[in-house]
Structure 1
C-alpha cells in the first residue's frame, strides 16, 4: 500500500491518521539529505527536516496504539568531533552543516516528545549508506557514472577522507530486526549508530571502482569542502544489539557496479 503524501502538509498527515487509526509502528526516513545542498537551498531543509519532522511526530502522538517511532538521524550530527570512533555518548553540539543541525534538532524534538508524551523513540545514526538504488549525488554513484562515461570526476582533498561505508542490505536487516524485536514495557528513548566499524578512504573507494569497472579515472583535484568532515567512524557502543556488518566494502561495491551496469547500461 502506497500513498504519496507531503510530510510538511498538516492536511496530508491528518488524512493519513484518519485513514489508518491503528498504526503501532512508524519508520520515518523522509528527509532532505546531503550536506552541500544546504548552502544554496536552506529552506528545503527547514521545510522537510524541521517542520516535516514535527508534523510527523505529532501525527505519531495522535495514534493511540503507537508503540514505537523509529527515525533516521545521521552520522553528520557528530560534526567536528575528533574522538574516534564516534560514540552515542559523545557531544553533538557542533554541527558543521545545516543538514547536520536539522538532524540533531530531530533528536532533541523526539526526546521532548518522549518526555512530554511518553512516546517511545529510537534514533538511527546512519553512516554513509551505499548500494543499489542509492542516491545519485553520492561519491560512489558519481565515480561509477564518470568511469563508465569516461568523464572527469572531482576528488576532494586528494581522496584523503575516511568513512564508515555501510552497505544497504546490512542497514535493512538491522532496521527490520529492530522493528520486530520485543519492546520494553515502559516508554523509552534510545540512539544507535548504524554503520560499519571498518573505515576506508575515498581514494581507496575510487581505486576499487577502477578495478571493478576496468576503467581509469580522469581526476580533477579540489581542496576539501568546507562542509566535509575528515573522518567518520561508527563506534560499537550498543549497536551490536541491532547492527551486524556482513558485507565488506569490496563486495558491496561489486554488487553496486553490477546493479549499475544492469540498470543504466543494459549489461
Structure 2
C-alpha cells in the first residue's frame, strides 16, 4: 500500500432482536382485574459506515517523523421517526353492546414498534390505564375528552386527543339499551326534530325518547356524532297519536338515529 493511502474498512453495527412486553388488555380473574401482556418483537437497529486506518508504514513522513493522526469515527443510528397515535370506537358484542371499546390498533410506528399505549382523561368517568384495547361500562352519558399517548421502542411518544360521546346502559321497555359511542366534532349545528307517536296501545306520556345524530362512517370504528340527547320533557309529552317538535344544538352531523323507543311507538323525522 503506497504511503498516504489509508486502509478502508466497512463497519456494520446492529442490535439483536428486542422483545417488549406490551399490555394489550385486562381479564377478570377471581374477582380481580389483571392486566394481560403480549410480547412484541422490535426490528434490529442497524447502521454502517466506512472507517480509515493509517499505519506508520503507509503514513507520510515529516522531517523523518511519521505524521500519524488517528481519526475518531462515530456511527449514528438513523433518525427515529415518531409513532402515530390513532384509535377507533366500538361496542363489545359479548356484553350485548353495554360496554364501550376504545381500540388503539390503528396506531403505528414507521420504523419500529409501539411498546406502550396510555389512555387518560380529566373526566373521572374515564379510567386511566395502559392497554392496546380498553373496554369500559359508563354509568352516565356525556361527552368526554379522551387522550391516547403511544411510545415506540426508542422512547419517542406522540398523542391524539378527541372528544368522545358515550352512553350509559339504561333499561327501557324491558330492554337494556346503549347508544353506540362516537367522536365529536367542534362545529355546532341546530336541528329541529319532529316525532310522531304511534296511535297504538302502550304509546303515550310514559315514553322516554332519546336521540343520537351520526355522520356517515369514515371507516370501521371512526364515527362522528352528537352523543345522547333525551327529548322527553314537560313541554314534549309525546302524547299518543300526536306530533311533538323538539330543537337540539349539537355537532355537525347528517344522519338521525332514533333510539330507546318503547314497543309500539312509531317514528318520523324531518
TM-score (norm 1): 0.27
Give the structure-2-normalised TM-score: 0.27
Greater relative contact order (Cα < 8 A, sep 6+): 1
Going by fraction, where is helix more abundant, 1 or 2? 1
Kindly name which structure, 1 or 2, has the bigger radius of gyration based on alpha carbons. Answer: 2
